[in-house]
Structure 1
């Protein structure tokens, strides 16, 4: 019989039933196998039938009675193996010493035999580790399936299910009603610190909603421990030091706690992870593998190396090392060379930075100075241009006075030769003087006599003090007669002197020497620019900029200069020599030869083209050049040669000079022809003893004009058709006058004019009635 141990419960527990010991018999292995093979539905039906047939009986008891008069006992259910292995049933010598010695020999008392097959089955059915926690998603269909382990447990328990009795169910219902009714009985421990009745329920206790203003405390007070709301801020110096030391101590304690390792805690954690099947690496570390001795392997036998392969191998290694050494040496040399290049490049870059800064500062100063020069020129240039215009007007007025006097003399001579042109009385309104009085018209005959007397006096005045050889045998009319009366000449000289004085007064308020003399200002700055930064100077056309700025001082110096009357050449001005020296910088070697031109070229020619030639052409067109004067023609040829040498014969500025001179000749010839036309049309000559002298004066003046034109053509060539102008003058002016007195000097004058013409132009002269042949 198997021993049963019973325990007496001190207090009944509702819902617990005593186990029935009717099925306390041991199950054989065959029955267990059959139970395992049955389906879950069959097993559940068996369990329900057993529960209906059997009622729980109190098999265990401690001899005491329940407090309620109704005692319930429970029975300790043992497993099949524990019931079979009871104490004192089997002697110690029954079990084999080893599992290998187990046999299937049956025992007389019916106890199981520990053979090899049974132990292997037992070992296979025993779970060594806990089942891993499943992380799969819950499935309702899978939850309805019966696990095999549950069936094993139900099978081990004998298929009994504890069903509570009617009395325990009633007692539980009564106790639940008492608790619901709010009775004093309370057999559980509440998790809340205070009771609901001790806490204020607010204005609406029947509602479970709590308003924000009905809460007892604020968030800062409730969570003050975690939000540091109760901490005090240290304001004093000493309190701040204490707070800093406390904070440092706390940080050191936290660092020490983090560094400290509790081996027992770590071992416990690893063990728990190993039991749960979550840390295989920790398990392997916790249980190190047992070291097993392994003998060292015996190396395989090798042949003894020969000498020749070893030598060849060493030679190959030596060649490889030699090649590697050579490559490393070349790489080191290249790196050293590259480093030297980088050092040189660094030095060069530093020098470039220094030069760039110096260049920036110099150009900043240069720009400031140029701005001051521009301001100066903006103020002074209008004054200079006003004086130049005044000088041109004076020259033009003088030329008009001389042209009017010559025209009046020619009209007097033509009226004597061809007859006077009748004057109409209704030719125009009456002339008034400054006071509004009517100016009486003079008698033409009387005026002619006055002009003739004035011409004779001028001629005698010009020839006074000169010998016959100096005056020559030139008849009257051949001389230029471009002098002004004494009063007009005095006014002309005073006007020129006033213009020159006003030109000097332009710089009277200037005290800086660099604005007085361009050599100290312009030449200094532009020369330094050319010397220090030649590339920038050449690329920016610095020489032309210098010429543009220097133009003011050049025009100021030639103000009041008459190129025809003055004896000064262009190279005698100070600006000419200054620009000449600037254009040819000295090389510092002390050569006796003339220095070569700089990168700017000849700036003198640029200045002549820019400032001198336009001024020169304006003065020529204003009447400075007298086409009847041989002296003026010689002077013009000299000036034209200087300009040609400076700018070149093909320069358009030189062509402007030639065109200006040609326009003066053209205007003079056209004016003479226009003056002759009405007299030729009238052609009613009268007998006048003075007609021969008048004709000679007209032809002599025309001969003088033709002579100057031919001389100019000899220098300038047949540009602008100067030869055609000469032929036109002879055919349309000289021959009509000569025909009126052909036998009394007209033929001789025509022959003289044809004689001075070039051979290629004589064929174009129209001979009257074949007389010229």
Structure 2
């Protein structure tokens, strides 16, 4: 085809629509249809409107009736059409046959159509790898790229068959078709009307003035914010809350995972479709070589097997027989081993079941034991404070009683000393004291007060001699223990002790359970069952000592109000003593000993009686003695104390700390008695040292001196007896020497001829040789 321009006439028909050809549209067509498809209909409509406002519109007409003289335009051919024309010229197509005639419309004669038909290839063009590379990117604006590439593109052939006649529509048929389309355009509701635009006008807003053809810039469709909102994040919202931020982060992770899955996923149907499109477009070479036919391969013929011989068969059978025999022996040994293992496993299973049953029984028993211990702890927490309060009250009663006796004894000693030594300056009678009501109170150091105390002492001695006729003959004034309270004080003392015992009994009045009232039925039962069922756990947990700690409450409650020096009572007479003795020595059936034994041996706990004595009894006895239960001038109280110590020595070792505590408390009583005697004699000894004794005749002086010396001799006898029982580890010997030299000897020297010598001779004879002072050695 020649390069001569084709001239078209402009028609003057106003209703004729024309297509506008622009360089941008041509570039879009050359690049492919993807750019048009990717743009939205609103964007295309806006682009067309902008272009139509800036460029002049031109109407083309092919075969119209009216011709408009004047302006014509020439069709400018591109580089591709020129190259295509050159390629066709090389195939033998005459370019002169394609020259259009300068007529009113296109002319299609038979010769032109035949040439066009002959030049149209009937087969799909083959792809030459050297001529075209699908991966090479081309720029349609650069014509130099097309010079090195030769592409044979088939021309449009409206007549596929060479034998068929070419049907060319006439001008009247084209005109009627145009008129029909105008009618359909006017009647858009018809089903035969197909719009050529990609978007309908009804789909877009026509603005505030739809009847006006004027359009404001703000009313244009396809605003950039709306067009690209999906890509510019214009519609996204910023997450401010914690939950919204968490939701947005989760949404982004899901989208990223989807994009990764989509990128890694390969759709077979899409891949086949792409390959088919490449094949149809001629961009992929087709395989022209047929598939290779399978070649027949005959099966290999096996080698001939020799016929076995008798010796070989016998050798194989013998070998197989030996292998079977060995295997049988191994299997038999394995079966025997497995049987033994099965037996061991059965035995272990039986043992494990027994262990599980024992563990379950142990767990259930200890659960019940724990519940009982918790209830016992609650009981003791409630009852122990009132018991301790009652014990403190008992201590206060004994202290008050001992204070009354000591005060009276001090006053009697001072009265006797004043009788034969005179009144020292510190003991001179004081003026009468007046109370808050103006009443005069007599002085305790006045002669009248001394005379009343002497009469009261004689009355008590007479009553004591009358009630105790056995000691009436041997009773010597001053040597007998005058520890009797006055009638009123004695009645108050007995009332207080009775109330104390009643309060102790009322402490358990609200307890109805036998296990809490009787510790042998509660503690003894549970701890004995623990020892019988789980001896190893019981021994490892020192169950006996734990039981002693809980049993202490009932021991102290039973000993409440008991003074062992006032009411002699052996320890084995208490109920707790017998219960602990029996618990410490299980029955022969439980202990596995011979029934012929007189006394069963001790159990794994040892002697719990000794443990209870050191835990509760000895501290309680020490507290009672310290409070004043022991009278240092009473030989009966000392004898009962020594008997109690002998009984304790059977169960408690002599070097036990709690027994040492009791012995120290007893020795402290004698130390206090000697110190009290020295304090009473101190003002009179000062008078003797300065020689200010008033020599006067008084018939009561000799009996008074005798009473003082006999009272000190009685204290010395008790101290010597205590030293013999406890030893000299507490300084009892030094205390004896201190009493003789500092207290007795100065008083005896004041009346040596009237009884003092006889008393000191008896003292010297009773003292051990190592304790006798040198001044008394001649009296032995």
Q: Per the shorter chain, which TM-score range?
A: 0.5 to 0.7
Offset at 1:710? 1.3
Q: Which residue of 2 aligns with 1:85?
A: none
Alignment partner of 1:738 out of 742, 748, 762: 748
Deviation per CA, 1:433-454, whole angstroms, max 9, x where unpaired?
Answer: 8x55112447744444443344
Alignment partner of 1:299 out of 294, 297, 303: 303
**Residue 651 in structure 1 maps to residue 656 in structure 2:** yes
CA distance in 2, matches of 1:486, 1:555: 31
Offset at 1:548? 3.5
Normalised by the size of structure 1, how large is the TM-score? 0.63
CA distance in 1, matches of 2:699, 2:92: 190
CA spacing shift, 1:517–1:334, aligned 2, 3 Å: closer
Please say if residues 418 and 680 of structure 1, whose CA atoms lie closer than 8 Å, have aligned partners that are also in contact. no
Alignment of 1:655-670 (within 5 A): 655-670=660-675
**Residue 565 in structure 1 maps to residue 570 in structure 2:** no
- The alignment covers a number of residue pairs equal to 591
Offset at 1:665? 0.2
Q: Secondary structure at the match of 2:296?
A: coil
CA distance in 2, matches of 1:342, 1:191: 94
Q: Secondary structure at the match of 1:405?
A: helix
CA spacing shift, 1:300–1:767, aligned 2, 3 Å: farther
Alignment partner of 2:364 out of 358, 362, 369: 358
CA spacing shift, 1:535–1:722, aligned 2, 3 Å: same
Alignment of 1:107-506 (within 5 A): 137-140=135-138, 202-204=205-207, 209=221, 290=294, 292=296, 294-299=298-303, 307=312, 310=316, 314=320, 317-318=323-324, 321=327, 325=331, 328-329=334-335, 332-333=338-339, 336-337=342-343, 339-340=345-346, 343-344=349-350, 347-348=353-354, 350-351=356-357, 354-355=360-361, 358-359=364-365, 361-363=367-369, 365-367=371-373, 369-370=375-376, 372-374=378-380, 377-378=381-382, 380-422=383-425, 430-432=433-435, 436-441=438-443, 444-464=446-466, 470-471=471-472, 473=474, 475-506=476-507
Task: Single out whichever of 385-394 and 304-313 deviates more from structure 2.
Answer: 304-313
CA spacing shift, 1:350–1:424, aligned 2, 3 Å: closer
Offset at 1:704? 1.5
Q: Secondary structure at the match of 2:768?
A: coil
CA spacing shift, 1:309–1:144, aligned 2, 3 Å: farther
CA distance in 1, matches of 2:670, 2:618: 19
Q: Secondary structure at the match of 1:413?
A: helix
CA spacing shift, 1:406–1:371, aligned 2, 3 Å: closer
CA spacing shift, 1:345–1:490, aligned 2, 3 Å: closer
CA spacing shift, 1:355–1:464, aligned 2, 3 Å: closer
Q: Secondary structure at the match of 1:520?
A: helix
Please say if residues 89 and 95 of structure 2, whose CA atoms lie closer than 8 Å, have aligned partners that are also in contact. no
Q: Secondary structure at the match of 1:653?
A: helix
Task: Single out whichever of 412-421 and 451-460 deviates more from structure 2.
Answer: 451-460
Q: Which residue of 2 aligns with 1:708?
A: 718
Offset at 1:659? 1.0
Please say if residues 431 and 443 of structure 2, whose CA atoms lie closer than 8 Å, have aligned partners that are also in contact. no
CA spacing shift, 1:185–1:745, aligned 2, 3 Å: closer
Please say if residues 432 and 441 of structure 2, whose CA atoms lie closer than 8 Å, have aligned partners that are also in contact. no
Runs of at least 5 residues in structure 2 that lack an aligned partner in the other structure: 1-82, 99-104, 120-124, 155-169, 186-191, 224-271, 283-287
**Residue 555 in structure 1 maps to residue 561 in structure 2:** no
Deviation per CA, 1:320-353, whole angstroms, max 9, x where unpaired?
Answer: 7357536753674476357536743662465256
CA distance in 2, matches of 1:184, 1:445: 163
Q: Secondary structure at the match of 2:742?
A: helix
CA spacing shift, 1:54–1:443, aligned 2, 3 Å: closer
Offset at 1:670? 0.5
CA distance in 2, matches of 1:324, 1:478: 106
Q: Which residue of 2 aligns with 1:74?
A: 114
CA distance in 1, matches of 2:455, 2:584: 57
Offset at 1:489? 3.3
Offset at 1:767? 1.8
Q: Which residue of 2 aligns with 1:626?
A: 631
CA distance in 2, matches of 1:350, 1:137: 80
Q: Secondary structure at the match of 1:479?
A: coil
**Residue 614 in structure 1 maps to residue 619 in structure 2:** yes
CA spacing shift, 1:288–1:704, aligned 2, 3 Å: farther
CA distance in 1, matches of 2:344, 2:429: 105
**Residue 753 in structure 1 maps to residue 774 in structure 2:** no
Offset at 1:625? 0.9
CA spacing shift, 1:291–1:201, aligned 2, 3 Å: same
Alignment of 1:576-595 (within 5 A): 576-588=577-589, 591=595, 593=597, 594-595=599-600
Task: Single out whichever of 722-731 and 287-296 deviates more from structure 2.
Answer: 287-296
Please say if residues 387 and 503 of structure 1, whose CA atoms lie closer than 8 Å, have aligned partners that are also in contact. yes
CA distance in 2, matches of 1:656, 1:605: 16
Please say if residues 765 and 779 of structure 2, whose CA atoms lie closer than 8 Å, have aligned partners that are also in contact. no
Offset at 1:304? 7.4
Offset at 1:612? 2.4
Task: Single out whichever of 401-410 and 653-662 deviates more from structure 2.
Answer: 401-410
CA distance in 1, matches of 2:393, 2:676: 26
CA distance in 1, matches of 2:147, 2:357: 94
CA spacing shift, 1:363–1:511, aligned 2, 3 Å: closer
Task: Single out whichever of 681-690 and 46-55 deviates more from structure 2.
Answer: 46-55
Please say if residues 640 and 657 of structure 1, whose CA atoms lie closer than 8 Å, have aligned partners that are also in contact. no
Alpha-carbon RMSD = 5.4
CA distance in 1, matches of 2:491, 2:151: 151
Please say if residues 731 and 766 of structure 1, whose CA atoms lie closer than 8 Å, have aligned partners that are also in contact. no
Deviation per CA, 1:570-616, whole angstroms, max 9, x where unpaired?
Answer: 11111221222233332436835433334443333333233322322
Deviation per CA, 1:271-313, whole angstroms, max 9, x where unpaired?
Answer: 999x999xxxxx99x9895462525334278797875975885
CA distance in 2, matches of 1:195, 1:144: 33
Q: Secondary structure at the match of 2:466?
A: coil
Deviation per CA, 1:388-413, whole angstroms, max 9, x where unpaired?
Answer: 33333332232223222322222222
CA spacing shift, 1:46–1:197, aligned 2, 3 Å: closer
Q: Secondary structure at the match of 2:731?
A: helix
Please say if residues 478 and 701 of structure 1, whose CA atoms lie closer than 8 Å, have aligned partners that are also in contact. yes
Q: Secondary structure at the match of 1:655?
A: helix
Q: Which residue of 1 aligns with 2:47?
A: none
Please say if residues 179 and 185 of structure 1, whose CA atoms lie closer than 8 Å, have aligned partners that are also in contact. no
CA spacing shift, 1:371–1:650, aligned 2, 3 Å: closer
Please say if residues 585 and 598 of structure 1, whose CA atoms lie closer than 8 Å, have aligned partners that are also in contact. yes
Alignment of 1:86-125 (within 5 A): none
Offset at 1:651? 1.9
CA distance in 2, matches of 1:202, 1:443: 133
**Residue 717 in structure 1 maps to residue 727 in structure 2:** yes
Normalised by the size of structure 2, how large is the TM-score? 0.62
